[in-house]
């Protein structure tokens, strides 16, 4: 009788552990191949994305349609925005990785910015009217933070093949391609470092909303 009573308890514990392991594996596969959750740790993308927002990032959107001007992109900044060796030790890296995986904290090497220049583009700021231009054409920027200038820092760059010129929407609060003009790579982010496209704000609940891609009219 005693063995009969204990066996269901053992089977129940093992079943619960198996379900947990399967849930972690399935979640890992989904987040590595399809969707991931990211935490916004700064005000650099205001007003669209705010400090503390959680967003769902689609890893597949750019597989069907290439990156275009005006797109928001989440990218691995190692070698461009962040040092190649940005680790703080195994324990710190583990805790940071766990917090990022749960969508509770930001990542030291993952960023979200807006695509301003594609490979081959000539990006200039600013013209006589303090406007941003790409290939000589004025860029309408309805997403720009209210009261911000397109850029306080003047620049004229030609984006190399395979790279992107990226900027934040809250220009006065954003460290982006402008900040790295003198660094290796000149602040340009390789296309193969793109993780995916922000598709949905999921937290806080009062900001739950889709993040649409810009249409043709908004890009010119």
- Same structural domain for residues 46 and 26? no
Number of domains in the chain: 2
188 and 100 assigned to the same domain: yes
Instruction: CATH number of the domain at 190, please.
Output: 2.10.109.10
Q: What's the whole-number mean pLDDT along residues 127-141?
A: 92
One domain, residues 109 and 168: yes
In terms of phi and psi (left: phi > 0; alpha: psi -120 to 50; beta: otherwise), the region of 179 is alpha
Answer whether 110's CB lies under 8 Å from 75's CB.
Answer: yes
Structure tokens at 120: 């081959």
Strands 72-76 and 110-117, bridge-based pairing: antiparallel
Closest C-alpha among 166, 182, 162 to residue 174: 166
Task: Kindly report, residue by residue over 184-206, the tens digit of the pLDDT.
Answer: 777 899 999 999 999 999 999 99
Domain that holds residue 21: 1-33
Domain match, 170 and 81 both: yes
In the chain, the largest separation of any two C-alpha atoms, in whole Å, equals: 90
Q: pLDDT per residue over 140-152, tens digit each?
A: 999 999 999 999 9
Average pLDDT, the chain: 80
């Amino acid at each position: 009788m005693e063995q009969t009573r204990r066996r269901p308890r053992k089977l129940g514990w093992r079943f619960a552990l198996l379900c947990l392991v399967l849930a972690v594996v399935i979640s890992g596969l989904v987040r590595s191949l399809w969707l991931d959750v990211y935490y916004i740790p700064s005000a650099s993308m205001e007003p669209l994305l705010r400090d503390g927002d959680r967003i769902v990032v689609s890893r597949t959107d750019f597989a069907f349609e290439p990156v275009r001007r005006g797109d928001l992109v989440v990218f691995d900044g190692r070698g461009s925005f962040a040092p190649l060796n940005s680790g703080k030790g195994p324990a710190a890296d583990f805790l940071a990785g766990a917090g990022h995986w749960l969508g509770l904290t930001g990542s030291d090497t993952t960023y979200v910015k807006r695509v301003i220049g594609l490979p081959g583009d000539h990006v200039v700021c600013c013209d006589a009217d303090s406007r941003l231009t790409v290939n000589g054409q004025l860029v309408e920027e309805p997403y720009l933070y209210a009261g911000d200038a397109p850029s306080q820092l003047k620049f004229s760059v030609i984006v190399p093949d395979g790279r992107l010129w990226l900027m934040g929407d809250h220009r006065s609060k954003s460290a982006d391609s402008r900040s790295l003009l003198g660094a290796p790579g000149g602040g340009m982010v390789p296309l193969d470092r793109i993780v995916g496209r922000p598709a949905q704000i999921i937290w806080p609940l009062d900001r739950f909303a889709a993040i649409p891609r810009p249409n043709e009219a908004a890009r010119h």
